[in-house]
């Protein structure tokens, strides 16, 4: 170590020793502090405490109310929804035959989008509605086997 490092180290050691000695208390000083803590302290009486305002309440001034204006309701135009019934006839090779045309998932059927398809039904969806179309079951019209 060079001389500068030795001097700095000695200064730091002497400062730390002085700090330790200055902070140490005698037994008398500690006993005085303990007895002072043990002394009964007089607090605020309940009557005064009841009169003290709550420091956590925020008092706001009431705003003067404006006179209410009469609202005139305008007649709302009637919205007439056109109900469109779609007719699902068949599903073959991931395509649905609806209203005489073939559609795949993602295609638009009228105002709806075809979003889901199984072997006997499709699901159509738009912004507000969801429809499920099912292939109607056919009744047997003839018997293929003789005797039955």
Compute the 3-state secondary structure of the chain and give helix, strand, coil in percent, each to the nearest 5: 25, 20, 55
Q: Which residue has the higher pLDDT, 80 or 123?
A: 123
For the purposes of burial, counting CB atoms within 10 Å of the CB of 103, is it exposed (0-12), middle (13-18) or buried (19 or more)? buried
Q: What is the arithmetic mean of pLDDT over 110-122? A: 91
Q: Which residue has the higher pLDDT, 20 or 104?
A: 104
CA distance 148 to 143: 7
| Predicted confidence (pLDDT) at residue 18 exceeds the cutoff of 60 | yes
Tens of pLDDT along 39-63? 887 778 778 877 887 777 776 776 6
| Predicted confidence (pLDDT) at residue 120 exceeds the cutoff of 60 | yes
**Where is average pLDDT lowest: 13-22, 86-95, 115-124?**
13-22
| Predicted confidence (pLDDT) at residue 88 exceeds the cutoff of 80 | yes
Identify whether the C-beta of residue 38 lies closer than 8 Å to the C-beta of residue 30.
no
**Where is average pLDDT lowest: 84-93, 112-121, 136-145?**
136-145
Spatial strand order in the sheet of 130-134 = 108-109, 112-117, 121-125, 130-134
Listed residue (144, 143, 101) closest to 122, CA to CA: 101
| Predicted confidence (pLDDT) at residue 128 exceeds the cutoff of 60 | yes
Structure pTM?
0.39
CA distance 8 to 2: 10
CA distance 107 to 3: 88
| Predicted confidence (pLDDT) at residue 31 exceeds the cutoff of 80 | yes
Spatial strand order in the sheet of 95-98 = 88-92, 95-98, 101-103
């Amino acid at each position: 170590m060079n001389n500068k490092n030795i001097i700095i180290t000695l200064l730091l050691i002497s400062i730390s020793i002085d700090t330790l000695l200055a902070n140490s208390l005698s037994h008398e000083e500690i006993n005085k502090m303990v007895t002072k803590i043990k002394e009964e302290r007089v607090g605020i009486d309940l009557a005064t405490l009841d009169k003290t305002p709550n420091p956590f309440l925020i008092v706001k001034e009431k705003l003067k109310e404006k006179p209410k204006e009469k609202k005139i309701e305008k007649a709302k135009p009637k919205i007439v929804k056109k109900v469109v019934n779609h007719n699902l006839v068949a599903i073959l090779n991931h395509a649905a035959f609806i209203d005489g045309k073939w559609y795949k998932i993602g295609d638009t059927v009228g105002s709806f989008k075809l979003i889901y398809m199984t072997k006997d039904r499709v699901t159509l969806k738009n912004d507000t509605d969801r429809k499920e179309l099912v292939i109607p079951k056919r009744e047997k019209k003839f018997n293929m086997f003789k005797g039955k």
